[in-house]
Structure 1
Amino acid sequence: MKKYLFLILFSCALLGHSQQIALLKYKGGGDWYANPTALPNLITYCNNNINTTIETKPETVEVGSMDIFQYPFIHMTGHGNVFFSEEDSENLRNYLYSGGFLHIDDNYGMQPYITKELKKVFPDKDLVEIPANHPIFSTAFAFPEGLPKIHEHDGKRPQAFGIFHEGRLILLFTLECDLGDGWEDEIVHNDPSNVREKALKMGANIIKYAFDN
């Protein structure tokens, strides 16, 4: 019964907020607010290139709040520690199982913390690497080799990991890529225009996948 209640709540919320996205605020001391210009720039790019009509100013929503059910797409980033309480974990799990989508972008240094906390959310699921032929790499723009490399960090290859539920990708974790830095204003990191374009195109793919699936 509780599961169906969340489904009804999520469906009703989406009727009024289907073109609005949010940034996830979490506990633990990690800088959840990193890359302040990233989401606004991604929204502008999507509205101009893939026919979305997303509100230009993204909302901020706490992981344990029922407000997360208002948004079909939530973005999470940071460099450091992440902590989910039992209530946070249950709320996030219900949101994702009810049709929501979470993109976690490691801004460098987040991996050991978020992977540990995700086991609270999904004790019976593991992050699995997403192959390059998954639809998320071609929903709007083609990335035949999978996730693009935006920033070097440790020089490792970029990887996209996911959690699936009933065949649907509900959570995307991007590592050694740093899409969010590529979405930021050009002056922040001085990335070449072609690198920023790759980041924005991949971001548009993620948004479109979240909205369509």
Structure 2
Amino acid sequence: MKQTLVLVLIFLIFSTNAQDVAILKYNGGGDWYANPTAIPNLVDFANKNIGTNISKDPQAVNINSEDLFSYPIIFMTGHGNVLFSDDDANNLKNYLISGGFLHISDNYGLDKFIRRELKKVFPNLEFKEIPTNHPIFNQTFKFPNGIPKIHEHNKKPAQGFGLFYKGRLVVFYDYETDLSDGWEDEIIHNNPKSVRETALKMGANIIEFAFKN
């Protein structure tokens, strides 16, 4: 029965919305809806530069919804508290081990909460810093030094962390860089064009990696 369920979930991931992305809607009071222009801008950039055909109207999907399984990649951001129920954690785990991919962008203040809650999803997994030779940094766009620094938070170096399930990267977490701020409309953060392009290129790599893997 469990094997049948997993096969059904895998089918859903690669069916209707196999070339679309979604935004994770979670509980706890954190602003999951932060950076509203980020994903539409990233999608537009990806469609123009890496040959994707993603809907420019990304949907917000509840973490405990079966709709999660319709998307090969889910984006998550925010500044504040995150709280996963047992059902939330179980649904997210099933999504990820069935072929899904989660990108988390720390919009400042998310770190302690997301690390705590992901322990409910994968109690035995630890975040590992992703080496610069990993494929996620070597898709259409090359990042020989790893994840780029986009925003200054605590004067710490930008880091890309990952959770690996049976050797597969299932969660990519950008820390002390805030890629999603770099994807926002220029007027919001006044980032120079070169910084925004760097952030968008890294974001496109994440999408490309998720679609391939």
- TM-score range with shorter-chain normalisation? over 0.9
For residue 166 of structure 1, report the CA deviation from its aligned partner. Answer: 1.8
Q: Are the aligned partners of 2:9 and 2:98 in contact in 1 as well (CA < 8 Å)?
A: no
Change (3 A) 1:13 1:143: closer
Quick check: 1:158–1:175 contact (8 Å CA) kept in 2? Answer: yes
Matches within 5 A, 1:78-97: 78-97=78-97
Check whether the contact 1:3–1:94 (CA below 8 A) recurs between aligned residues.
no
Does the alignment pair 1:192 with 2:192? Answer: yes
Tell me what 1:211 maps to: 211
Unpaired runs of 5+ in structure 2?
A: none
Q: Secondary structure at the match of 1:56?
A: coil
1:13 Cα deviation from its structure 2 partner: 4.3
SS in structure 1 of the partner of residue 34 of structure 2: coil
Provide closer, same or farther for how the CA distance between residues 196 and 2 of structure 1 changes in structure 2, counting only shifts above 3 A: same
Q: What secondary structure is seen at the aligned counterpart in 1 of 2:39?
A: helix
CA distance in 2 between partners of 1:93 and 1:139 (Å):
26
Report the equivalent of 2:55. 55
| Separation of aligned partners in 2, 1:64 and 1:212 | 25
Q: CA deviation at 1:3?
A: 4.3
Q: CA deviation at 1:190?
A: 0.4
> What aligned pairs does 1:1-213 form with structure 2 within 5 A after superposition?
1-213=1-213
Hey, what's the Cα distance between the residues in 1 that align with 2:2 and 2:108?
37
TM-score (norm 2): 0.98
Q: So what's the TM-score if we normalise by structure 1?
A: 0.98
Residues matched between the structures, number = 213
Q: Deviations over 1:167-204 (max 9, x none)?
A: 11010011001000000000000000000000000000
Q: Alignment RMSD, CA only?
A: 0.9
The CA deviation at 1:17 is 1.0
